[in-house]
């Protein structure tokens, strides 16, 4: 199952992660995938079309990976901790969050849609988990689920920014540790 079309999408996914939409050329995609010019334009209408397929797949994959931790075993706090502390390629950054810095993606409703949807889902899912924690008596009632959920997703995304600025994973881990410590304060266990 390593069709040309498949290799084109995978190469585009890698390049979007590494260089963004503006920084990725059709030529680079062709070279990385081993597909020729004619081949690429046979399977896809162009850079935009290919990027859309790549972004949709990356977004879907990210949601699936997160749901693994969210629906795993343990208390709400343990599941959130498992998600935040999951192994990540920190210096590469988030393949979805990265796209929000691309002017041509943000300006294009079609390309932005899967990015928007992913973070909306992520914030919503974490809000649900925090509400579940409160209902179960694991978390203090004073906690604001929606605001806390957004702060956690933002901490992850910003942690990548700090790590890439420093050329080190250290600030990422500090940030994640920080938000988890603050959250732990609200644990009733």
Question: Could you tell me the smallest distance in angstroms from the CB atom of residue 16 to DNA?
Answer: 12
- Contact between 120 and its own copies by CB under 8 A: the answer reads yes
- Contact between 129 and its own copies by CB under 8 A: the answer reads no
**From the list its own copies, DNA, none, partner contacted by residue 149 (C-beta under 5 to 8 A by kind):** its own copies
- Contact between 152 and its own copies by CB under 8 A: the answer reads yes
Structure tokens at 93: 């950054």
Structure tokens at 31: 């070279």
Nearer Cβ to its own copies, position 17 or 70? 17
Question: Could you tell me the smallest distance in angstroms from the CB atom of residue 51 to DNA?
Answer: 9
Place of tokens 């809000």: 127
Q: Residue 2: helix, strand or coil by DSSP? A: coil
Structure tokens at 137: 């008596």
Query: Which parts of 49-108 interact with its own copies (CB under 8 A)?
Result: 93, 96-98, 100-103, 106
C-alpha to C-alpha distance for 35 and 45, rounded to whole angstroms:
15
Structure tokens at 57: 């797949």
Nearest residue to 118 (alpha-carbon basis) of 144, 90, 97, 149: 97
**From the list its own copies, DNA, none, partner contacted by residue 84 (C-beta under 5 to 8 A by kind):** none
DSSP state of 45: S
Nearest residue to 128 (alpha-carbon basis) of 150, 141, 152, 145: 145
- Contact between 166 and its own copies by CB under 8 A: the answer reads yes
> Which residues are at the interface with its own copies (CB under 8 A)?
18-20, 22-23, 93, 96-98, 100-103, 106, 112, 115-116, 118-120, 123, 142-144, 146-162, 164-167, 171-172, 174-179, 181-183, 185-186
């Amino acid at each position: 199952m390593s069709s040309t079309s498949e290799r084109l999408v995978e190469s585009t996914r890698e390049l979007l992660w590494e260089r963004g939409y503006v920084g990725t050329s059709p030529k680079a995609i062709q070279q990385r995938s081993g597909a020729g010019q004619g081949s690429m334009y046979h399977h896809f209408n162009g850079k935009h079309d290919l990027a859309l397929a790549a972004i949709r797949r990356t977004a879907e994959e990210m949601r699936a990976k997160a749901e693994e931790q969210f629906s795993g075993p343990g208390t709400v706090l343990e599941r959130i901790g498992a998600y935040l502390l999951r192994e990540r390629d920190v210096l590469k950054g988030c393949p979805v969050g990265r796209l929000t810095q691309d002017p041509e993606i943000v300006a294009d409703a079609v390309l932005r849609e899967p990015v928007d949807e992913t973070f909306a889902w992520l914030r919503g899912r974490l809000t649900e988990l925090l509400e579940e924690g409160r209902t179960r008596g694991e978390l203090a009632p004073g906690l604001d689920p929606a605001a806390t959920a957004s702060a956690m997703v933002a901490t992850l995304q910003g942690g990548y920014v700090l790590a890439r600025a420093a050329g080190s994973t250290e600030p990422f881990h500090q940030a994640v540790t920080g938000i988890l410590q603050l959250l732990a304060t609200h644990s009733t266990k």
